[in-house]
């Protein structure tokens, strides 16, 4: 069996994701589709609107054959690390090709990757965010800048793919209609994830019915939906009670930012107020949300970097095809394979994901890890 990979968040799964899945199957000709999906905490530094088990279920119902989790120590990182984690897992699973959306799929990402590799020293001259450093170096090397989120992520997939012993075939496709951050539903069939979440929180079910599968709409209408404000009291407590030294050790915390976050946590009325008070020209909102996530989950830079050297394959669900593919590749896997968390794993190999799940569970109310077994489409809800 040949497999095609998708690196996803499905926050939540909408018609654009379903189109992506259909195109991946068609363009690759693969027998099996494998989605590496972020867990309960996402790349933009925010909690998922629906928990990872619900989103894995929706992915299987949409036609994905095998869903595995992107660990929190990669899922909440800038684009280059987010891409590296997902590509590494797909490579370990022996996936042949990776299909992903880009704003400009016609760009020669492979040429840009090669050109930038020859100018890596350029990164050392910019005291700014990774995206700013990256684009400055890329422009110096090629004359090109990538200003769209998925174009930059596409580039990072190419960089990560070059690290594999057996690189995959990479296939960029055109994103459909809705811009990545478009906040309103303006199309009868496609909408951005941002617009879908906004409509869901506003309970605009009629608007959502045209842009998400019926199964997604059902889950949005019946489940408790998570957002940052739900976790604000917990984050505020962490920031006010942790020492400055402890806060300074959190992942992605910049020097001096811990003082500013501690100060603003004393007066902020909610999460949005807090982020706006902390915001400065030096930091993007996304960067600040990632730091806030690390503070909430007490993820230190040291333990995150250590965990990134010990990646693994955590299975969230599969159908008959996905199960057969797992059976085919499990003897040659280059990463550990886990199907459930027991007491030993929660304290050691999977401790960071267990911690992230426990915090999410405080608001969500449903067990996220301990003894949870992967979904089986044919047995559980097929």
Q: For residues 321 and 306, what is the distance between their CA atoms, to the nearest angstrom?
A: 34
User: 29 labelled as ligand-binding?
Assistant: no
User: 15 labelled as ligand-binding?
Assistant: yes
Both tokens assigned to 220: 């949005």
Query: Per this entry, what is the length of the chain?
Result: 382
User: 46 labelled as ligand-binding?
Assistant: no
User: 5 labelled as ligand-binding?
Assistant: no
User: 319 labelled as ligand-binding?
Assistant: no
User: 150 labelled as ligand-binding?
Assistant: yes
Q: What are the backbone angles phi and psi of residue 60, rounded to the nearest 5°?
A: -65, -40
Q: For residues 147 and 360, what is the distance between their CA atoms, to the nearest angstrom?
A: 32
User: 19 labelled as ligand-binding?
Assistant: yes
Q: For residues 13 and 23, what is the distance between their CA atoms, to the nearest angstrom?
A: 15
Q: For residues 27 and 97, what is the distance between their CA atoms, to the nearest angstrom?
A: 10
- Give the pairing of strands 66-70 and 313-318: antiparallel
User: 342 labelled as ligand-binding?
Assistant: no
User: 306 labelled as ligand-binding?
Assistant: no
User: 101 labelled as ligand-binding?
Assistant: yes
Both tokens assigned to 160: 């990560």
Q: Which of 168, 171, 132, 174 is nearest to 150 (CA)?
A: 174
User: 303 labelled as ligand-binding?
Assistant: no
Both tokens assigned to 38: 């972020």
User: 169 labelled as ligand-binding?
Assistant: no
User: 16 labelled as ligand-binding?
Assistant: yes
User: 63 labelled as ligand-binding?
Assistant: no
User: 18 labelled as ligand-binding?
Assistant: yes
**Which residues contribute to the annotated binding site?**
7-20, 101, 150, 175
**Which residues contribute to the annotated binding site for ATP?**
7-20, 101, 150, 175
């Amino acid at each position: 069996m040949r497999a095609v990979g998708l690196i996803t968040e499905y926050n939540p799964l909408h018609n654009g994701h379903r189109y992506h899945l259909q195109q991946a199957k068609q363009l690759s000709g693969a027998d099996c589709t494998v989605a590496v999906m972020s867990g309960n905490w996402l790349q933009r530094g925010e909690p998922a609107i629906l928990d990872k088990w619900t989103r894995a279920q929706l992915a299987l119902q949409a036609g994905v054959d095998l869903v595995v989790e992107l660990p929190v120590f990669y899922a909440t990182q800038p684009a280059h690390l987010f891409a590296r984690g997902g590509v590494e897992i797909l490579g370990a699973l022996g996936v042949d090709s990776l299909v992903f959306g880009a704003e400009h799929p016609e760009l020669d990402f492979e040429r840009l990757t090669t050109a930038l590799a020859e100018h890596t020293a350029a990164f050392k001259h910019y005291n700014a965010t990774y995206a700013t450093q990256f684009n400055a170096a890329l422009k110096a090397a090629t004359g090109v800048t990538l200003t769209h989120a998925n174009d930059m992520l596409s580039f990072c997939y190419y960089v990560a793919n070059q690290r594999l012993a057996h690189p995959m075939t990479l296939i960029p496709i055109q994103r459909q209609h809705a811009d990545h951050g478009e906040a309103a539903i303006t199309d009868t069939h496609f909408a951005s994830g941002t617009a879908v979440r906004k409509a869901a929180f506003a309970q605009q079910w009629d608007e959502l019915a045209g842009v998400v599968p019926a199964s997604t709409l059902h889950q949005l209408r019946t489940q408790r939906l998570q957002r940052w404000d739900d976790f604000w009291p917990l984050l505020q407590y962490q920031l006010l009670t942790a020492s400055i030294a402890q806060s300074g050790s959190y992942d992605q915390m910049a020097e001096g930012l811990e003082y500013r976050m501690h100060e603003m946590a004393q007066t902020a009325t909610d999460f949005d107020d807090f982020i706006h008070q902390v915001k400065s020209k030096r930091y993007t909102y996304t960067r600040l949300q990632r730091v806030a996530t690390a503070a909430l989950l007490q993820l230190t830079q040291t333990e995150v970097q250590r965990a990134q050297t010990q990646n693994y394959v955590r299975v969230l669900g599969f159908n008959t095809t996905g199960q057969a593919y797992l059976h085919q590749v499990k003897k040659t896997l280059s990463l550990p394979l886990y199907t459930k968390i027991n007491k030993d794993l929660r304290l050691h190999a999977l401790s960071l994901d267990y911690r992230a799940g426990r915090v999410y569970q405080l608001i969500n109310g449903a067990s996220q890890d301990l003894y949870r077994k992967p979904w089986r489409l044919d047995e559980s809800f097929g």
